[in-house]
Chain A
Amino acid sequence: MGTYALRRVIQMIPLLFVISLLIFMLTALQPGDPVDQLVFGNSNITADDIARLKAAYGLDQPWFTRYFFWLKQAVVGNFGYSQDFGIPALDFVFRDRLPNTLLLTVPALVISTLIAVPLGIFSAVRQYSLPDYVLTFFAFLAVSAPVFWVGALALYFFAVFLPGATGGVLSLPPGGLGSADLAPDAGWWATTLDKLKYLILPMMILMLREIAVTLRFMRANMLETLTQDYVRTARAKGLGDRRVLYKHALRNAVTPIVTLLGLSIPGLFGGAVITETVFSWPGMGKAILDALVSKDFNVVMTCLMLLALLTVIFQLLTDLAYGLVDPRVRYS
């Protein structure tokens, strides 16, 4: 297993290099660059000004020259400055945006998994009962409803309608990261409580979909497991329902969830672009989208390389975890 893991780690290096080259090339080959945005609408700008700005930002050079300049800096940990925020891209990603994203996505994933797995099992065990129909219908609805629509409805309901109906007693903030009137020197407790208020709505919307997806997945796995020969054998031996379910079926039914979770983790770091956009939650998803639109190359590269690195790492960890939960899987 150790040799296998080491071999996979060594393979990551050329893979990440190729990924970085592809991302840089695709970003650089998009039409337009940051200078175009400075130029357009400025009637005083001259050809000399344009040439000067392009040179300053290195945009007068071919993309592969710029790529190798970026690579040379990146291998020593310098990912350059964000064009849009004027701070080092690493700071922007790791200090400004990633914490916000993880604050939103990690609890959402953990809580929704804790809710969805038991519900999926319950739904499978009581197949074709009223609760099963209700849960299946809910899951179908939650998966189908567009996030931007549900999010907008939730915003209106909790931030406009509900306060109106309760005289302002019950309400949730209409998006953002924190109260405008929170003092900069407010203590940890006040800041946390304040942030919590702002976190509830986007997290609820994110969880809604996560629960639906995991519930359907778990239900399908459980149903498939319950029809297996070894389950029938266990029942034939006279074992009780609970023992058959929890001792024999559950472990095998949960195994694919490991894969699902393992592959979801890099996605946590990538943020939830629509949820973040609707709720003005400044996270990674929104940052990547904005950086792509505004051609903030350094931020695009930093974000996407981080996601690429996490993807290959968690793919490896998922494969290794498989060996732990399924004794039939061996790495040699």
Chain B
Amino acid sequence: MKKTLALTAFLLGAALAGPANNSLVIGTSQEPPNIYDPWNTNNLAITSEINGYMGAALIGLDDDGEPYADIATRVPSIANGDYKVVKNAAGDVVRNSVTYTIRKDAKWSDGTAIKVADFQFWHRLVNDDRVPVPDRDPWSRAKIAVNDADTFTITYDPPYLFADQTSPGLAPSHIMSAAWTAFDTKTKNEKDAKVVNEEWKKFISSYTTARSLPKVVAGPFKPTAWRSGNSLTMTRNANYWLQPKNPENYVQNITYRFIPNTNTLKVNILSGQLDAVSAVGLTFDQGVDLTRTERGKYKTYFVPGAVWEHIDINTRGQKAKDLDLDDPRMRQALLYAIDRDALTKALFQGRQAVSNSWVNPISKLYKKDVNDYNYNQARAKQLFAALGWTAGSDGILQKGGKKLSLNFGTTAGNTVRERVQQILQAQWKQVGVQVNIQNYPSSVFFGPDFLSKGQEGKWDLAMYAWTGNPIFEEGNLFKGEGIPTAANGYAGQNNAGWNNAEFNRLHKQAQVEFNLSERIKLFDRMQTVWNTEVPSLPLYYRVNVYTKVPGLVNYTFSAYTLYPSWNSAKIGWASKGAVEEYKQK
């Protein structure tokens, strides 16, 4: 009987996660298409997160948004002379440049020294038409000049606003350049883009897939096994230079488990199979559920993120004119008519703060004291009346024989958004606005024929999200030039179609204002204008939900770092002697 029980336990018993062998098991709901592709030809969040364990950069950002030197010997600044801004006689910045010196001990995981050639190789390819990088900003305007064996200067002309806060990528030229030369020879005269693309895939897949893991990496961990559809394991890279004191006290192996179904991911947390969850994993609701069953086995965190949820109001086309959506008073009325505080309390336990600007609240550019549009039905009704809208016999506002009836769309199947829609629909109904919910699959909603075609009256209200990076904020979302039109190939992102002369002027100034305090002033005014005109109804900045077990230290992230992999060299178990440097805020 005992033998049978022991055999059963062996067969059925699942390995428990934990610090026993100084390893870490992380659950995530997505699997990356590839890893450590130096040119980031896919832009999935999970790819960025996992690459964080294996990658290194000249300059990194910590959880507080402060830059630190990684491959570089120091953080470039005007004060230390590594960052230079060149102005013309009129005082306008015409170009800027950053000089980096590579640390002597910076090595690839195979022990080869990281050289300027690795940055040059990366830069050459990122600007090659055959490499399908999504965008080349700012690298297409950058030139690299070699100063000596370990020092180079990158010059941006026209100047790049965030030159001192970003840095060019790198690729292992000693590993990849021979294959690249072969690719180059094979495709130099090839006219058919599809053939070139197939060759590119052959080239890049030799270094980035489950079948062909990266040969070398620069970061704290190197990949050792990738079981497609199941897990990816990484091992500590002994050649990484920014090791904590006593690196053996910190996590030695990290395994990502790919669990696409988030309910199954939840069961994995409850059953103790996971030490932590990725930033790409749980939904908000699941996070709330998990807080109820913690019992000291794990802790749930809600981290203020960089994703801004909002409702665009279509100001373009005849229908928008008929419904006064192109009039700021109508948009203000719609905002006054909804109780966003009650909404976030009801749905998110108040954990997702109401926003009144598109700028991330943790950004230095964020303006706190704009109008907060607190719920005020009386004010909303006043504004409707001022525009000539009066209640009909059915209670719906009307003007000139037309009802104030709006189509409200979002991505179908997103239960949180669908619940928000229903609450808002009920609140607008109270002030006489009829809202018809019409949702679409993501592929349609974000496809080429919906959001960007506001001119054709395809929608009135559209709820979706943008990433609001607290560092690289340029104010592009609402610039007039960003209105998607046939002329610009529908490439802009100002789907609301709002075009404000003052905002556009300020935005242009801000784009070339290299003095932060002056930029803050410009953004202050931009946010005031935006907040008065409300081309979009701001809802809230989303939080990221994750869990981790007690005793796991330095597994943290913020809206600056986005992923817990930013500080992976220092992730460890307190019980193994790992020292806590960062607490989750």
B204 CB-CB contact with A under 8 Å: yes
By a CB distance below 8 angstroms, the chain B residues around A50 are 489, 491
CA distance A168 to B110 in the complex (A): 42
By a CB distance below 8 angstroms, the chain B residues around A58 are 193-194, 197
Interface pairs (26), CB distance under 8 Å:
A31-B447, A32-B446, A32-B447, A43-B474, A43-B477, A44-B135, A44-B137, A51-B489, A56-B197, A80-B198, A86-B34, A87-B209, A87-B210, A160-B267, A169-B5, A170-B9, A170-B12, A170-B13, A173-B273, A174-B271, A176-B230, A181-B15, A181-B23, A278-B263, A279-B264, A280-B259
Q: Nearest-CB distance from A59 to chain B (Å)?
A: 10
**Given A40-B446, A43-B474, A280-B258, A87-B8 contact (CB < 8 Å):** no
Interface residues in chain A, defined as those with a beta carbon under 8 Å from any beta carbon in chain B = 30-32, 36-47, 49-53, 55-58, 69, 80-81, 83-87, 91-92, 96-97, 100, 152, 155-156, 159-160, 163, 168-182, 184, 193, 196-197, 200, 277-280, 282, 286, 290, 293, 295
Name the residue in B13, B129, B224, B261 with the highest tally of chain A Cβ atoms < 10 Å from its Cβ.
Answer: B261
By a CB distance below 8 angstroms, the chain B residues around A86 are 33-34, 201, 204-205, 208-209
CA distance A189 to B475 in the complex (A): 58
A91 touches B211 (CB 8 A): yes
CA distance A92 to B200 in the complex (A): 18
Interface size for B (C-beta < 8 A) is: 77
Q: Nearest-CB distance from A185 to chain B (Å)?
A: 9
CA distance A150 to B96 in the complex (A): 62
Q: Nearest-CB distance from B451 to chain A (Å)?
A: 9
By a CB distance below 8 angstroms, the chain B residues around A83 are 33
**Given A57-B194, A100-B229, A180-B446 contact (CB < 8 Å):** no
Q: Point out the residue from A47, A169, A176, A197 that lies within 8 Å of B491, measured CB to CB.
A: A47
CA distance A172 to B271 in the complex (A): 10
Q: Nearest-CB distance from B283 to chain A (Å)?
A: 15
By a CB distance below 8 angstroms, the chain B residues around A172 are 12, 14
Residues of B238-294 contacting chain A, CB below 8 A: 255, 257-261, 263-264, 267-268, 270-271, 273
B444 touches A31 (CB 8 A): yes
By a CB distance below 8 angstroms, the chain A residues around B260 are 277, 280, 286, 290
B476 CB-CB contact with A under 8 Å: yes
**Given A168-B13, A174-B268, A85-B33 contact (CB < 8 Å):** yes
A278 touches B264 (CB 8 A): yes
Q: Point out the residue from A55, A96, A179, A278 that lies within 8 Å of B15, measured CB to CB.
A: A179
B267 touches A174 (CB 8 A): yes
CA distance A286 to B16 in the complex (A): 27
**Given A57-B197, A58-B194, A178-B134 contact (CB < 8 Å):** no
Closest partner residue, chain A, to B255 (CB atom): A180
Name the residue in A32, A170, A174 with the highest tally of chain B Cβ atoms < 10 Å from its Cβ.
Answer: A174
Name the residue in A37, A69, A156, A200 with the highest tally of chain B Cβ atoms < 10 Å from its Cβ.
Answer: A37
12 more contacts with CB within 8 A, not counting A174-B14, A278-B264, are: A36-B443, A43-B476, A46-B135, A56-B132, A56-B193, A85-B210, A155-B267, A160-B267, A169-B5, A174-B271, A175-B261, A282-B230
CA distance A184 to B231 in the complex (A): 11
B201 touches A81 (CB 8 A): yes
Closest partner residue, chain A, to B225 (CB atom): A184
B261 touches A280 (CB 8 A): yes
B228 CB-CB contact with A under 8 Å: yes
By a CB distance below 8 angstroms, the chain B residues around A159 are 14, 267-268, 270-271, 273
Closest partner residue, chain B, to A85 (CB atom): B33
By a CB distance below 8 angstroms, the chain A residues around B23 are 181
Name the residue in B200, B202, B258, B271 with the highest tally of chain A Cβ atoms < 10 Å from its Cβ.
Answer: B271
CA distance A152 to B264 in the complex (A): 8
A49 touches B201 (CB 8 A): no
**Given A43-B474, A50-B491, A174-B271, A85-B15 contact (CB < 8 Å):** no
